[in-house]
Chain A
Amino acid sequence: MPAISLVITSGKGGVGKTTATANIGTALAMLGKRVCVMDLDLGLRNLDIMIGLGNRILYDVVDVVQGRATLHQALVKDTRFEDRLVLLPAAQNADKNVLTPAAVRQIVAALRSEFDYILIDCPAGIEQGFRNALAGADGALVVTTPEISAMSDADRVIGLIEAYKMPIAPRLIVNRVQAAMIAAGTSLDVAAIAHRLALSLLGYVVDDNAIITADNRGEPIVFDTQSPAGTCFRNITDRLVDPHVPLLPLAIKKPGFWQKLFHRG
């Protein structure tokens, strides 16, 4: 079966697109799927670092487009998964305009037969880079955080995605969910965000400081079976592969008597 290509996008920067791409890609490989993660954030590539392949890049996507390397020369294989996880890195110092939607479509088409999933990490914004990333995708995963600014940008991006009429309907990932804030009523809960954006909810990721250390080590958090965020990413991946998998229930602790007494407001 040819690969399903999904773009991970958000509009706003810093909400966790690259983290989501790295973790879902890794989790898919852990499930035995063949995965290619593509970084299209030209000039500001991070995906390689988060997956832990930063030091093994020889060629990048721009080299492929400009004919300096073949597609297979540019693919960086992750030996942790017997080469099931493969990264196509972005260029760090190339002109942003060398990539076109047609070129991305062509690369994705060439990769389809060899993988089960192609994940495209989209740059922030809605300009050329965004259009390039969408061109190759069959569907989109929209990442947002529970903040109004991120949700507003997500809404804008969903509108643009819908105009592309992709075969797979876009789905929502809510990142940096704070159970305590939801319990206290100071943050929108995940279902309310999905309802507000009128989008099908794929999953959520709890706010977890372990993500920062995991990113720094180049080991995606999904490796950590103890981490709440890792569990969330595995649930998202399971739901992506099998639509019948239920959403992980969010453990919301009701503030106890003593907590209410001493942590008012």
Chain B
Amino acid sequence: MASATLKGRKDGYEIHLDDAASFTDNLTDLTALFHQVHDAQQALQEEQANFVITTGNRLLTEDQETAIRALLDAYPHFEIVAFRADVVTTADLSPLLRQTHVPVSIGVIRSGQEREFDGDILFIGAIHHGGVLKASGSVFCIGEVSGIVYAGYPDDAEAVVVGDLTEATQVRIADMVDIVDSNNAHLTPHAFAYVNDLHAIDYAECINLRQIRPRLYAQMEE
């Protein structure tokens, strides 16, 4: 059985390369397959053809991808749209994991201390007056907040700060600063801070987080 199989799809062709066969066999079978497709295309008087190459559990190296693309030199109207594998390298995976995973940090941020996090952060503990908690994503706080909370550092206005911010000194999101005013009617222990349509920091009840930041909600639900 050939190690390259062709499937028709509505937007072109998909070629599956058997990951159990050697790459040299893949290449030989692929050459034959392209030739067949070329003949068939000519019979149907069609020219342009798009291919997606799937490789299963094999991850092609750049050299291997170049070798496959080189086969198409003879067929200028053929195009490889994408290479797809069922596997990824751990190097590619870890940033993806970081994006979707909310790390937890526990402790006390004291006066003069600054803690910085990549992505979202769930902070459990206390942020004392003069302490700074900074994250490139959203900040979720459980405990006393008397210091400065900075979400979406430096420029993510989609980030939110959830937690009791009534005693905080400042709330910062992206390029905005709100000097917390305890007279603000929207600022309750059950509120969260976000950047509103007028590009200003505003507060809303936590139950409205889903409406205000649907994307964040979807991400957390996953």
Instruction: Spell out A's residues near B (CB within 8 Å).
Output: 152-153, 155-156, 158-160, 162, 196-198
Q: List 26 A-B contacts (CB under 8 A).
A: A152-B111, A152-B129, A152-B130, A153-B111, A155-B110, A155-B111, A155-B128, A155-B129, A155-B130, A156-B110, A156-B111, A156-B112, A156-B130, A158-B110, A159-B110, A159-B111, A159-B112, A159-B113, A159-B131, A160-B112, A162-B110, A196-B128, A197-B128, A198-B108, A198-B126, A198-B128
Q: Per DSSP, are chain A's interface residues mostly helix, strand or loop, or mixed?
A: helix
Across the interface, which residues of A come within 8 angstroms of B126, CB to CB? 198
What separation, in Å, do the CA atoms of A153 and B129 have in the docked complex?
Answer: 10
Interface residues of B in 124-140 (CB under 8 A from A): 126, 128-131
| CB nearest to B112 among chain A residues | A156
What separation, in Å, do the CA atoms of A199 and B131 have in the docked complex?
Answer: 16
| CB nearest to B108 among chain A residues | A198
Report which residue of B108, B110, B130, B131 has the largest number of chain A beta carbons within 10 angstroms of its beta carbon: B110
Distance from A125 Cβ to chain B, minimum over Cβ atoms (Å) = 13
What separation, in Å, do the CA atoms of A196 and B108 have in the docked complex?
Answer: 11
**Total A-B Cβ pairs within 8 A:** 26
Report which residue of B108, B111, B113, B130 has the largest number of chain A beta carbons within 10 angstroms of its beta carbon: B111
| CB nearest to B147 among chain A residues | A155
What separation, in Å, do the CA atoms of A160 and B111 have in the docked complex?
Answer: 10
Across the interface, which residues of B come within 8 angstroms of A153, CB to CB? 111
What separation, in Å, do the CA atoms of A156 and B113 have in the docked complex?
Answer: 8
Distance from B79 Cβ to chain A, minimum over Cβ atoms (Å) = 58
What separation, in Å, do the CA atoms of A158 and B107 have in the docked complex?
Answer: 13
Distance from A172 Cβ to chain B, minimum over Cβ atoms (Å) = 13
Distance from A124 Cβ to chain B, minimum over Cβ atoms (Å) = 15
| CB nearest to A163 among chain B residues | B113
Instruction: Spell out B's residues near A (CB within 8 Å).
Output: 108, 110-113, 126, 128-131
What separation, in Å, do the CA atoms of A160 and B112 have in the docked complex?
Answer: 9
Additional A-B contact list (13), CB under 8 Å, known A156-B111, A159-B113: A152-B111, A155-B111, A155-B129, A156-B110, A156-B130, A158-B110, A159-B111, A159-B112, A159-B131, A160-B112, A162-B110, A198-B108, A198-B126
What separation, in Å, do the CA atoms of A196 and B110 have in the docked complex?
Answer: 11
| CB nearest to B109 among chain A residues | A159
Give the top 4 A-B pairs by smallest Cβ distance, nearest first: A159-B110, A156-B111, A155-B111, A156-B112
| CB nearest to A148 among chain B residues | B129
| CB nearest to A197 among chain B residues | B128
What separation, in Å, do the CA atoms of A153 and B110 have in the docked complex?
Answer: 10
What separation, in Å, do the CA atoms of A152 and B147 have in the docked complex?
Answer: 11
What separation, in Å, do the CA atoms of A155 and B147 have in the docked complex?
Answer: 12
Distance from A168 Cβ to chain B, minimum over Cβ atoms (Å) = 18
Across the interface, which residues of B come within 8 angstroms of A198, CB to CB? 108, 126, 128
Across the interface, which residues of A come within 8 angstroms of B128, CB to CB? 155, 196-198
Across the interface, which residues of A come within 8 angstroms of B110, CB to CB? 155-156, 158-159, 162
What separation, in Å, do the CA atoms of A155 and B111 have in the docked complex?
Answer: 6
What separation, in Å, do the CA atoms of A160 and B130 have in the docked complex?
Answer: 13
Distance from B129 Cβ to chain A, minimum over Cβ atoms (Å) = 6
Across the interface, which residues of A come within 8 angstroms of B129, CB to CB? 152, 155
| CB nearest to A126 among chain B residues | B112
| CB nearest to A199 among chain B residues | B108
What separation, in Å, do the CA atoms of A196 and B147 have in the docked complex?
Answer: 13
Distance from B107 Cβ to chain A, minimum over Cβ atoms (Å) = 9
| CB nearest to A11 among chain B residues | B111
| CB nearest to B128 among chain A residues | A155
What separation, in Å, do the CA atoms of A156 and B129 have in the docked complex?
Answer: 9
What separation, in Å, do the CA atoms of A153 and B113 have in the docked complex?
Answer: 12
What separation, in Å, do the CA atoms of A108 and B82 have in the docked complex?
Answer: 69
What separation, in Å, do the CA atoms of A155 and B113 have in the docked complex?
Answer: 10
What separation, in Å, do the CA atoms of A159 and B111 have in the docked complex?
Answer: 7
Across the interface, which residues of B come within 8 angstroms of A155, CB to CB? 110-111, 128-130
Across the interface, which residues of A come within 8 angstroms of B131, CB to CB? 159
What separation, in Å, do the CA atoms of A196 and B111 have in the docked complex?
Answer: 12
What separation, in Å, do the CA atoms of A155 and B108 have in the docked complex?
Answer: 10
What separation, in Å, do the CA atoms of A152 and B130 have in the docked complex?
Answer: 8
Across the interface, which residues of B come within 8 angstroms of A159, CB to CB? 110-113, 131
Across the interface, which residues of B come within 8 angstroms of A162, CB to CB? 110
| CB nearest to A153 among chain B residues | B111
Distance from B152 Cβ to chain A, minimum over Cβ atoms (Å) = 25
What separation, in Å, do the CA atoms of A263 and B113 have in the docked complex?
Answer: 43
